[in-house]
Amino acid sequence: MLMKNGVKMVKFIHTADLHLASPFQGLTEMPSQLWRQVYDSTFAALRRIVDAAITERVDFVVIAGDIYDGERKSIAAVDFFNKQLTRLAQQHIPVFLCYGNHDFQQVTAANQSLPANTRVLGNQVTTATLTLATGERVAITGFSYGQRWISTDVARKYPVKGAVDWQIGLLHGAPYQAGADNHYAPFTVDELESKHYDYWALGHIHKHQELATTPPIVYSGNPQGRHKNEAGSHGYYLVHSQGSRLIPEFKPVAGIGWRTVSVDLDACQTEAAVDRAITSAATINAAGHLQLCAVQVTASRQQWRLLVENGSLLTHLQSRLRMEETIEWWPYQLTLATRQGEPHLPSLDQRYWAQAKQAVFTAENLAAVIKPLVKHQPLYDQFADHQNLAEFEQWAAALISEREKQDEN
């Protein structure tokens, strides 16, 4: 707690979905030293968050679930997490956390070997209170998952704001969607707003976003993207008071970025020019961080198309990068992209294709197809991302176009 001109101020960090020791998927043929950098990235992101908490002298830290990637936690992940909590304890910074659908567990005093500064919210909705150095009282309300799926609306059990200066809701869940399975403590924004809390610290959705501003209802996202569907900026929120309001400010910490790189090779006359074009596109705006790239190329020349299709261009790029002292980017995938995103069909068939893709590539169909993967949570979560639908459309279009070419031959 800080004092400025006699006005009380509170400052805290909101993070979630650390997924420590996450198995990064879709990466092959990567040099061992690069793989270690990738594997360590979730740990490094948490270390940076703790560094910031200490530097900013925050009053406390809240973690909204999925600290670990699965209910079977690795010894290395548990040890690292405890060490980071201890660093905060040494600076007298309390931590309030809940467990989510990945690291669900029955919370008991016997199975929580955490530093004394850390409070784990139980499997029922619980409110913890904290009195700051200046006398302000903060309440943090939330719960931990005791099982992988929670289909009930737990948010309705949260009490309305009590007799405290600040009340924060800690919730690992997803907004209710009509027609969806709603396995993750479904809620509505109106419902959260009705509690009159000052801030909602959400977890589960891996893209940072604000669902509302009065009060702030905020997903911090995960600090480090773990696969190609988690591109973009990742970090945490630094929250501070301004008068009677809490103001969230996003802070990026991810050390590794996932990118889809589009390159047109039609102007390239030599293989060296192809290499330069792809490298230039992959490293632009890299900001000094390792970029893991899915490269999509368009090319009219059969020579370049063949190099992509038989995998030799990807092999060449990876082999060259292995020889570099510092690797700024790594291509884990290289494919041909269709220029228009549609199969080359007669106009009548184009109409049927448009109707078919609208009927087939839906969230409901996606959920039905991937349902058998539910016991393999990392795979299920990756394919459940609705961003995959556009990619599935592109794959289907490419397959239809390829089959059409074969029929013509």
My answer on whether 332 and 350 are in the same domain is no
Q: Which residues contact 196 (CB under 8 A, 6 or more apart)?
A: 160, 161, 167
Q: Which residues contact 226 (CB under 8 A, 6 or more apart)?
A: 19, 22, 24, 25, 42
Q: How confident is the model at residue 248 (pLDDT cuts 50, 70, 90)?
A: very high
Radius of gyration of the chain from its Cα atoms, rounded to whole angstroms: 24
Q: Single out the residue in 235, 252, 269 at which a domain terminates.
A: 252
CA–centroid distance for 23 within its chain: 14
* DSSP code at position 109: G
Q: Single out the residue in 200, 220, 252 at which a domain terminates.
A: 252
Lowest mean pLDDT among 71-85, 190-204, 261-275, 382-396: 382-396
Residues 44, 280: Cα–Cα separation, whole Å: 27
What is the CB-side half-sphere exposure of residue 196 using CA atoms within 13 A? 7
Q: Which pLDDT belongs to residue 409?
A: 41
Q: Which pLDDT belongs to residue 399?
A: 63
52 or 231: whose pLDDT is higher? 52
My answer on whether 320 and 369 are in the same domain is no
Q: Which pLDDT belongs to residue 348?
A: 47
My answer on whether 302 and 181 are in the same domain is no
Q: Is 78 within 8 Å of 30 (Cβ atoms)?
A: no
Domain count, the chain: 3
My answer on whether 54 and 120 are in the same domain is yes
My answer on whether 150 and 242 are in the same domain is yes
pLDDT in tens, 284-312: 876 778 999 999 999 988 999 999 999 99
Q: Which pLDDT belongs to residue 289?
A: 85
Residues spanned by the domain of 306: 255-337
Q: Single out the residue in 252, 287, 314 at which a domain terminates.
A: 252
